[in-house]
């Protein structure tokens, strides 16, 4: 039980990666404070954790709202935490830069980047008082690898990667670690919504899978395994870094679609 006796806050816990992370941390003994906009989804996750013998609390929260985030961390503090924060609530937006409106830009950045900042800012003094903690943010391969139509996602995930380093160097002396996860395409409701919106969803899924060296998308459980490592003491000397769980997507151009031709040349 790698999280026994720990309180963990997971944002975006009602669906996809967040749900898998909350369930995995709870299975490892953490009391998980699950935060999300989606009240119905939250109720399902906490009921599932409880049914499996774990402990979880549901807090309805918009991570871009300072009062909501303050209330979330008051709840975590009242429980004696948080020892770990997984700040991973995120939205989806795909459009060219030219067609990305200022309103859409502000909304996306406020959920992804401002939400991460607000949660980390609220967690730090509480973790300091506990003698340390682990902050895990959610970046993505878009921090290092662009595709047409994902400019705001690239900007947000790059900002989260940089913010992670900044947090790590500021709070390292307080024994608080900060790392981020950078997934490739993961089969979550978000990616299903994206594929279903394409003219040929089956082809979109197949092409997305082919971008990875492993020729498939990842699963939320594979993201959760990394989140558990980063939240737990097993990663006690890891801080300030991005950890990729991307099936090799960012390892190379189209992750190995090029067919090698044997050639020797002096």
Ligand X SMILES: NC(=O)c1ccc[n+]([C@@H]2O[C@H](COP(=O)([O-])OP(=O)(O)OC[C@H]3O[C@@H](n4cnc5c(N)ncnc54)[C@H](O)[C@@H]3O)[C@@H](O)[C@H]2O)c1
Site residues for ligand X per CB under 6 A:
11-12, 14-18, 36-38, 41, 61-64, 88-91, 111, 138, 140, 183, 185-186, 188-191
* Residue 188, both tokens: 């979550």
In the chain, which ranges are continuous DSSP H helix?
A: 16-27, 39-51, 66-78, 102-109, 115-130, 151-171, 189-196, 201-210, 220-231
Shortest distance in whole angstroms from residue 12 CB to ligand X: 3
**Nearest distance, CB of residue 240 and ligand X, angstroms:** 19
CA distance 241 to 82: 21
Q: How far is the CB of 55 from ligand X (least distance, A)?
A: 20
Q: How many Cβ atoms sit within 10 Å of the Cβ of residue 103?
A: 8
Instruction: Give buried/exposed letters for 170-207 (b at 16+ CB in 10 A, else e).
Output: ebeebebbbbbbbbbbbbbebbeebbeeeeeeeebbee
Pairing type for strands 31-36 and 84-87 reads: unpaired
Instruction: Closer to ligand X by CB, 130 or 156: give it.
Output: 156
Give the nearest distance from C-beta 37 to ligand X in angstroms. Answer: 4
Least distance in angstroms from the C-beta of 193 to ligand X: 7
């Amino acid at each position: 039980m790698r999280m026994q006796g720990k309180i963990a806050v997971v944002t975006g816990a009602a669906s996809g990666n967040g749900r898998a992370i909350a369930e995995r941390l709870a299975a490892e003994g953490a009391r998980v404070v699950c935060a999300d906009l989606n009240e119905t989804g939250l109720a399902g996750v906490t009921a599932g954790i409880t049914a499996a013998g774990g402990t979880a609390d549901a807090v309805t929260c918009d991570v871009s709202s300072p009062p909501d985030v303050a209330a979330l961390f008051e709840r975590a503090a009242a429980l004696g935490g948080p020892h770990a924060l997984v700040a991973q609530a995120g939205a989806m937006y795909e459009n060219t830069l030219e067609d990305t409106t200022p309103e859409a830009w502000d909304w996306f950045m406020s959920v992804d980047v401002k939400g991460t900042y607000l949660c980390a800012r609220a967690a730090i003094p509480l973790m300091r008082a506990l003698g340390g903690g682990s902050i895990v943010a959610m970046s993505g391969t878009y921090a290092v690898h662009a595709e047409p139509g994902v400019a705001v996602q690239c900007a947000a995930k790059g900002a989260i990667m940089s913010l992670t380093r900044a947090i790590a160097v500021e709070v390292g002396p307080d024994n608080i670690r900060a790392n981020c996860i950078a997934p490739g395409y993961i089969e979550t409701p978000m990616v299903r919504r994206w594929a279903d919106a394409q003219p040929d969803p089956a082809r979109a899924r197949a092409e997305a899978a082919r971008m990875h060296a492993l020729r498939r998308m990842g699963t939320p459980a594979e993201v959760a395994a990394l989140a558990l490592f980063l939240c737990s003491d097993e990663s006690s000397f890891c801080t300030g870094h991005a950890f990729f769980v991307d099936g090799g997507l960012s390892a190379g151009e189209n992750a190995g679609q090029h067919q090698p031709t044997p050639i020797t040349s002096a």
